[in-house]
Chains A and B, each alone.
Chain A
Amino acid sequence: MGKWKTLAQAAIERTAIVAKFICLYHITDTYLFSPTIVRFISFSVCQCVNGGVEIDRWILQVSGPSMLPTLNMTGDVILAEYVSHRLGKVGPGDVVLVRSPENPRKTISKRIVGMEGDTVTYLVDPNFSLRSRTILVPKGHVWIQGDNMYASKDSRHYGPIPYGLILGKVFCRDYMSAMLGLKSYDV
């Protein structure tokens, strides 16, 4: 009987250590920063999205090469931090991770072009014409655009998005893997 008890106690202790570590990792991952793989795939490939939140944080799938030349078409490892947008410190020019308004399970990365109250002038469809439109970004919303405007589905397509959909700010790209030869970059 005593042996079972000590065994159970040891098991509980081990589990508690693992749980604490997972907790700490999760807090850092959600509220501070995390490395994320930003992968770009073409429209023809099906997106297999895992429903779990943790996996969403690690693997981002964005349709199309929408952030060329800033981010690579075949994928980039980036560091995203989750502090600035809660403090309201994201602004125009920042590359941010945003929950897609069309598919809530998808996280996309785009650049903020205008904050609330800004007047944004944009090219509606640069592939076909030079027509441009001007719009005022409403309160509580931001205007996001991909760097590669010829192949990007962004606020020009679905309008300004609420600030609450911003998940984090991209602040760093991992060049080490390229330098160590682990990845090849398409230029």
Chain B
Amino acid sequence: MSFQQWSALLKEGFNATSFVATYLCFLHVTNTYLFTHAWVYGPSMLPTFSVTGNLVLAERVSTRLGKVGRGDVVLIRSPQNPRKVVTKRLVGMEGDTITYVVDPKNSDRRETIVVPKGHVWIEGDNIYATSDSRKFGPVPYGLLHGRVFCK
């Protein structure tokens, strides 16, 4: 092929790539700063979310502005596995006194704890089958990923 044809081909390839890159860029910025989608599954948030899975929309603005509060369902990066993002309900903010049932399957024992500064207390809606702050303690606010607002 002649030089002309090569350069035309390259130019077209470059245009197409830059178009795709721009689109991905835009998608990424929206995902990080505006809202994102997530597929939540598992028994820990029954009956709010089903076991087999729900597609939810989570917005990422309130966590950065500090506007999440008690009762919000949040996406949070797991303190036990940093590659996993889990969905739980925010039950207590810093400074709150939380009384929780330690192990509802085996006993009725309750414990009371004050959430330290900069941390939040998260619990799954289904306390019989969830691994949450009752197991690994209050999590730092910095691990919050987003707030679920739509399912």
Contacts and interface: CB of A to CB of B under 8 A. Distances in A.
Interface of A: 20, 23-24, 26-27, 30, 51, 53, 99-104, 138-141, 158, 161-166
A163 B82 contact: yes
Most buried by A among B33, B77, B80, B119: B80
Nearest to B29: A23
B117 A162 contact: no
Nearest to A22: B29
The interface size bin for chain B is 20 to 34
A100 B65 CA distance: 16
Interface of B: 22, 25-26, 28-29, 32-33, 64-66, 77-82, 116-119, 139-144
Nearest to A26: B29
Given A20-B22, A51-B65, A99-B142, A164 B118 contact: no
A30 B32 CA distance: 11
Contacts of A103: 117-118
23 contacts: A20-B22, A27-B28, A30-B32, A51-B64, A53-B33, A99-B140, A99-B142, A101-B118, A101-B119, A102-B116, A102-B117, A102-B118, A103-B117, A104-B66, A104-B118, A140-B80, A140-B82, A141-B79, A162-B77, A164-B77, A164-B79, A164-B142, A164-B143
A20 B79 contact: no
Contacts of B139: 162
Nearest to A51: B65
Contacts of B119: 101
Contacts of B143: 162, 164-165
Contacts of B22: 20, 23
A162 B29 contact: no
A23 B32 CA distance: 12
A162 B26 CA distance: 30
B26 A161 contact: no
Most buried by A among B77, B119, B139, B143: B143
Given A24-B25, A162-B139, 20 more contacts: A20-B22, A20-B25, A23-B25, A27-B25, A53-B33, A53-B64, A99-B140, A100-B142, A101-B118, A139-B80, A161-B140, A162-B77, A162-B79, A162-B140, A162-B143, A163-B82, A164-B78, A164-B82, A165-B142, A166-B82
